[in-house]
Amino acid sequence: MERTLIILKPDAVQRGLVGEITSRLERKGLKLIGLKMMRLDSALLKAHYIHLIDKPFYKGIEEFMKSSPVVVMAWEGFECVNSVRLIVGATNPRIADAGTIRGDLAIGQGRNLIHASDSKENGETEVARFFEDKEIFAYDKSEYLHVYEPYERA
């Protein structure tokens, strides 16, 4: 099963959208395997946003991401990385499809509520970056019988 890292950014926490966003991921049928609130520091953010570090807006991202605690979650599911990106929507909420989290709930590019891993490899790497092994839970999810075909939940 693939893993994806979700960060509910400071705007999600401040706007009281933690439940709304989490509910959308739960209703998809994904399995929550880790969840905590934390304050992000510069070192962790630099590692996480290494692909943006040279951009003129990087400093702003870092300041914003440190401005309030965030909620980080690890989810598991069959080919879940792409499925979650589709639910999250495009980076710029103004062109994100209606029905997506960003399309429905956000409008500013740097205030787009949520991070989601963008590849299977990054899902693994990012979950390992934000969670210790003991914070990740293995358990049977009874609804899998009704969420997946047998080969998908194998």
Interaction site with ligand IDP (CB under 6 A) = 52, 57, 61, 91, 109-110, 112, 115, 118
- Interaction partner, residue 109 (Mg ion, ligand IDP, none; CB < 5-8 Å by kind): ligand IDP
Contact 74, 136 (CB under 8 A): yes
Find residue 7's DSSP bridge partners.
Answer: 72, 115
Minimum CB separation of residue 33 from Mg ion in Å reads 20
- Partner whose footprint covers residue 137, from ligand IDP, Mg ion, none (CB < 5 to 8 Å by kind): none
Q: What is the dihedral of CA 1, 21, 41, 63, to 10 degrees?
A: 140
Mask 71-110, x = binds Mg ion (CB under 5 A)?
Answer: ----------------------------------------
Least separation in angstroms between residue 109's CB and ligand IDP is 5
97 close to 51: Cβ distance less than 8 angstroms: no
Torsion of the alpha carbons at 140, 145, 151 and 154, rounded to the nearest 10: 10
- Alpha helix ranges (H) inside 89-143: 101-105, 120-130
CB closer to Mg ion out of 42 and 91? 91
CA 44 and chain centroid, separation: 15
Map residues 115-154 to x or -, x wherever contact with Mg ion holds by CB under 5 A.
---x------------------------------------
Report which residue type is found at 54: D
Catalytic residues: 115
Q: Which residues bind Mg ion (CB under 5 A)?
A: 118
